């Protein structure tokens, strides 16, 4: 997802290391999911919410479902840009749309959607997204963020 209505999605930059590649010298498919997880974590951090501090407040985020489409391979030493945009903001979940781009030639490598649930750290039962985090996502999300009252 490129800019929506002039708003660029959050982007995390990373580099492909040897450990990310398979025997063919390309990024192993599951590692794109790791890159996207890191971008979601860095998005929270940029908004002022460290996952370690949230866990101490009995709040965790867990992936409920994931969908990925692969377009082109990344290789050793490629610099990647991984976007994380909140498409839906529900009472106890977020739907992220994410893309992985190779920086040098602006090639879209992988894209996906992730439904991420907010749960209690002690029971793993659903809980409402904390109001301050909800507000931060709405304020930073731009025109593409939709807020829903229920899940």
Active-site residue identified among 20, 22, 77, 151: 22
Range list of H helices, the chain: 29-46, 51-56, 131-141
Nearest of 118, 147, 112 to residue 130 by alpha carbon: 118
Residues in the chain: 151
Question: Who contacts 86 (Cβ-Cβ below 8 Å, separation ≥6)?
Answer: 94, 95, 96, 137, 141, 144, 145
Whether 122 is catalytic is no
Comparing CA positions, the residue from 109, 117, 113 lying closest to residue 98 is 113
**Going by DSSP bridges, is the β-strand pair 107-120/59-70 parallel, antiparallel, or unpaired?**
antiparallel
- The catalytic residues are 22
């Amino acid at each position: 997802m490129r800019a929506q209505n002039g708003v660029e999605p959050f982007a995390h930059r990373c580099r492909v290391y040897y450990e990310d590649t398979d025997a063919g010298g390309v990024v192993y498919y599951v590692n794109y999911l790791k890159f996207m997880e890191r971008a979601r974590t860095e998005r929270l951090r940029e908004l002022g919410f460290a996952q370690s501090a949230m866990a101490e407040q009995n709040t965790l985020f867990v992936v409920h479902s994931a969908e990925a489409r692969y377009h082109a391979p990344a290789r050793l030493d490629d610099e990647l840009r991984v976007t994380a945009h909140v498409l839906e903001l529900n009472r106890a979940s977020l739907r992220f749309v994410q893309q992985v781009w190779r920086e040098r030639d602006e090639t879209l490598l992988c894209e996906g959607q992730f439904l991420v649930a907010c749960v209690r750290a002690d029971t793993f039962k659903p809980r409402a997204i904390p109001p301050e985090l909800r507000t931060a996502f709405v304020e930073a999300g731009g025109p593409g963020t939709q807020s829903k009252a229920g899940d």
